[in-house]
Amino acid sequence: MQFDTINQENIAILMEIFYEKIRKDENLGPIFNEAIGTSNEQWKEHKAKIGNFWAGMLLGEGDYNGQPLKKHLDLPPFPQEFFEIWLKLFEESLDKIYNEEMKNVILQRAKMIASHFQNMLYQHKTPH
């Protein structure tokens, strides 16, 4: 599959591929399972919610209204290097379904978000 457009259907496929990798990852799996839960139902909800987030970011569609930064700030501390793992798995997932141009559009946005989150989590963290 090499999609040359981005739409809600292929964002949903991306979520399936990406979160399958996340759940199996030795570093990220435990963090995500702790935050989301371990049931397929909980993961299905999460994938739908994050798919909605990406539809909003990339297409201006969807009804995502969460607070992604707050969710990450509320997590127990984890090493900053985990963002690199997240991005690597995200890029591998993009490679599977998008052509180079679409992959780069999404990846650039993902890197921007990851960079922003890292700044907020590691540079500006205030003691509680």
With cut-offs at 50, 70 and 90, classify the pLDDT of residue 124. low
What are the tens digits of pLDDT across the range 3-39? Answer: 999 999 999 999 999 999 999 999 999 999 999 999 9
Query: Is 1 within the bounds of a domain?
Result: no
Query: Is 93 within the bounds of a domain?
Result: yes
- Closest by CA position to 17, among listed 114, 91, 105: 91
Name 98's bridge partners.
3
Q: Which domain holds residue 27?
A: 8-123
- Local structure of 3: helix, strand or coil: strand
Residue 77 has pLDDT above 70, yes or no: yes
Query: Is 128 within the bounds of a domain?
Result: no
Quick count: other Cβ atoms within 10 Å of Cβ 91?
A: 16
More confident of the two residues 82 and 128: 82
Q: CA 101, CA 115: separation in Å to the nearest integer? A: 21
Give me the number of domains the chain comprises.
1
What are the tens digits of pLDDT across the range 40-74? Answer: 999 999 999 999 999 999 999 988 888 888 998 89
Query: Is 3 within the bounds of a domain?
Result: no
Q: CA 6, CA 36: separation in Å to the nearest integer? A: 26
Query: Is 68 within the bounds of a domain?
Result: yes
Residue 29 exposed, middle or buried by CB count within 10 Å (0-12, 13-18, 19+): middle
The first and second tokens of residue 79, run together, are 């090493």
Query: Is 2 within the bounds of a domain?
Result: no
Q: CA 34, CA 20: separation in Å to the nearest integer? A: 15
Question: What is the mean pLDDT of the segment spanning 93-110?
Answer: 97
Mean pLDDT for the chain overall: 93
Residue 101 sits in a domain of what CATH number?
1.10.490.10
